[in-house]
Amino acid sequence: MSGMGLAYLALEIAIILVAFRVAAEFITSATNDLEDIFGQGFAAGIVLGIIEALPETIVVIIAITQRSYDIAIGAALGGNIVLFSFGIGMVGLVYMRKWHTPLVMKDDYEVEFRFLTLSTLVFVIIALYEQLNIFVGAVLVLLYIAYLLKRYSKAHDMFVKNEGEETIKAGIFHASAYILIGFLIVLVASAPLVGDISQIASIIQIPALWLSLVIIPIVSDLGENINGYRLANGRRGGGSTAIVSFIGSKLENNTLLLGLICVFALPNLPISNALPEFISVIAVNLIALLVMKRGKLNYITSASLIVLYFLVIAISFIA
C-alpha cells in the first residue's frame, strides 16, 4: 500500500475517534438521566455496558464467521486488560483532578462484584483444562443472562419507587433518544475500525498476538475510555458510574461473547495459544475485584494501575 493509502487509513481512524467523542456526549447525558431513574447498576452496567461492548461484539461476530477464533478470543478478552488497568487508573486520576478527593464507589455494585467473581472462577477452570466447549459456553451465557435478570429486578424496584415523580417520563424519553443517537454513531463508526487497524498492522508488521491482545482492544475500547473520562469529569459520583460501566461491558465480553465462540467452535477449541490471554485476564479481573472490594481509588492506586498496563504490554511483547 502506498503512503497515500496509509495516510487515508490514518485519517479515517481520526474521524472515527471524533465520532466516538461525539457519541460520548450523548451517551454520558443519557446515562446520568437513567442512573437517577433506575440506579447506577442498570444504567452503567447494563445499558452503557452493552453500548460500550458494541465494537468488540462486531469484531467477535466477524471473526467467528471467518473461523478466526484466535482473533475472536483476543477481541473478547483483550478489553479487560485495557479497561481494568489503564481505564480504571485513568478514571481515578481524572476524578481526583476534577473533584480534589479520592474516587469512592457508590450505590449498589455488589452485583457486578459477584458476577465478575463467578466469571473469573470459570476462567480459572478454562485455563486449567486449556479448552473451550459447548458446556463452558452454556455456563458463560447463563451467567450473563442471570446478571441481566438481577439488574432488571433491581432497576424495576427502583423505578416503581420513583414512578410518581413527574420528571420520570421526560427523563426516560430524553435518555432513550440520546442512547439511540449514541448507539447509532458507535455502530456506524465501529464497522470499519477493525479493518483499518488490521490493514495498518499488516503494513507495519505488528505480530498477531499484539493485534488481537493489544492493538484491537486499545482501539475498540477508545469509546469506553472517552465515556469514562466524561463521566468522571461530569459530576460527583461519575467515577463510580464509569467503573461499573467498564465491569458491565467486560462481563458481556467475557460471558456472552466468549460463550458464542464456544458454541460456534464445536466440538472443542484448544486455547493453548491463547493461554497467556486467559491468565492475563484472570490477573486484571482480580485487580478490578480488589478495587471494588476496597471501594476507593487514590492517586497511588490509579497511577499504579496505569503503570501495570504498560508492564503487561511490555511483557506480552517480550513473550
pLDDT given at position 162? 65
Contact 282, 123 (CB under 8 A): yes
Q: pLDDT tens for residues 172-206?
A: 888 888 888 888 887 787 777 666 666 766 676 66
Check residues 128 and 159 and name the one with the higher pLDDT: 128
Mean pLDDT of 128-139: 91
- pLDDT at 273 exceeding the cut of 80: no
- DSSP line for 80-120: HHIIIIIIHHHHHHHHHHHHSS-EE--S--HHHHHHHHHHH
pLDDT grade for 220, boundaries at 50, 70 and 90: low
- pLDDT at 2 exceeding the cut of 90: no
Domains identified in the chain and CATH numbers:
3-318 (1.20.1420.30)
pLDDT given at position 227? 76
Specify the range with the lowest mean pLDDT, choosing from 67-71, 235-239, 247-251.
67-71
Q: Determine what percent of the chain is predicted with pLDDT higher than 70.
A: 85
pLDDT grade for 99, boundaries at 50, 70 and 90: very high
pLDDT grade for 45, boundaries at 50, 70 and 90: confident
- pLDDT at 318 exceeding the cut of 70: no
Residues 6 or more apart whose Cβ sits within 8 Å of residue 29: 174, 175, 178
Q: How many CB atoms lie within 10 A of CB 228?
A: 29
Q: How many CB atoms lie within 10 A of CB 303?
A: 13
pLDDT given at position 51? 80
pLDDT given at position 119? 94
Number of helices and strands in the chain (H, E): 17, 4
Average pLDDT in the chain: 82
pLDDT given at position 175? 84
Distances (CA, A) of 124 to 113, 263, 279: 17, 19, 8
- pLDDT at 90 exceeding the cut of 80: yes
- pLDDT at 271 exceeding the cut of 80: yes
- pLDDT at 166 exceeding the cut of 90: no
Check residues 204 and 154 and name the one with the higher pLDDT: 154
pLDDT grade for 92, boundaries at 50, 70 and 90: very high
Q: Determine what percent of the chain is predicted with pLDDT higher than 90.
A: 20
Helical pair 88-99 and 299-318, crossing angle rounded to 10 deg: 150
Alpha-carbon distance of 155 to 40, in angstroms, equals: 9
Mean pLDDT of 272-278: 81
Residues 6 or more apart whose Cβ sits within 8 Å of residue 145: none
Mean pLDDT of 22-50: 82
Specify the range with the lowest mean pLDDT, choosing from 241-250, 261-270, 309-318.
309-318
Please identify which residue in the block is written with the cell numbers 477449541: 269
Alpha-carbon distance of 302 to 88, in angstroms, equals: 7
